[in-house]
A and B are shown apart, each in its own frame.
Chain A
Amino acid sequence: TQLLEQSPQFLSIQEGENLTVYCNSSSVFSSLQWYRQEPGEGPVLLVTVVTGGEVKKLKRLTFQFGDARKDSSLHITAAQPGDTGLYLCAGIFLNTGNQFYFGTGTSLTVIP
């Protein structure tokens, strides 16, 4: 059983379209992170959200942490082929000593 479920699992869209990826859990996290992984490489951190309801923007990417700190979303505006990759959310429990739990992942393909 995965602690963090992501949806959709796979997403293929045309360049210029918008999309939203969801990360859901029944657990409350101290913070939540989003990573992107490209083929043949390890995941790379995009953003960390800490406060319930927090919204952060990174160029065309908008990240939101749920009010109850159990879920998060990633919205990409006007997707580009360079956005292609595996997007992973990761929840952090600080009371168990800096443990990271990764979501099931969303594989995004942006078609030129």
Chain B
Amino acid sequence: DAGVIQSPRHEVTEMGQEVTLRCKPISGHNSLFWYRQTMMRGLELLIYFNNNVPIDDSGMPEDRFSAKMPNASFSTLKIQPSEPRDSAVYFCASSLSQGPSGNTIYFGEGSWLTVV
């Protein structure tokens, strides 16, 4: 089975440009997560969808960040305008809620973003 698929794998962009990161979760999973990872702050939860509905977006840094999940097989994370401090690895992950012992979160390989 295909895992969580993210694109692009690497992106270098200039400050002020719009960045769109894409994610295809594992088929059948009902939860989708966007995380950001940096050396300084570790792995931070940005937003969490359950059944395509945003449940918690309190981790989204500011209005420049937005995320959508138009259907169960696709999600985007958009940064507009991008800033150098947005440079990080952005992970998409998905899971199927099966109770306390059945939840496994599967991560994509990450999108490495550099804003210069």
Contacts and interface: CB of A to CB of B under 8 A. Distances in A.
B71 interface: no
Interface residues of B, number: 26
B20 interface: no
Interface residues of A, number: 26
Interface of B is mostly: strand
Contacts of B4: 42
A97 B42 CA distance: 23
A102 B50 contact: no
A102 B45 contact: yes
Interface string B79-95: 00000000000010101
A92 B103 contact: yes
A96 B97 CA distance: 12
Interface in B1-58: 4, 31, 33, 35, 42-43, 45, 48, 50, 55-56
**Residue with the highest number of chain B CB atoms closer than 10 Å, among A2, A90, A100, A105:** A100
A30 to B, nearest CB: 5
Interface stretch (A11-19, A20-28, A44-52, A71-79): A44-52
Nearest to B3: A42
B45 A100 contact: yes
Contacts of B100: 30-31, 50, 92, 94
Given A40-B110, A42-B109, A45-B106, 15 more contacts: A30-B100, A31-B101, A43-B91, A48-B104, A50-B100, A88-B43, A90-B105, A92-B103, A94-B100, A98-B95, A98-B97, A99-B48, A99-B56, A102-B35, A103-B42
23 contacts: A30-B100, A41-B110, A42-B93, A42-B107, A42-B109, A43-B43, A44-B107, A45-B105, A48-B103, A50-B100, A50-B101, A92-B100, A96-B56, A97-B97, A98-B48, A99-B45, A99-B55, A100-B45, A100-B95, A100-B103, A102-B35, A102-B42, A105-B43
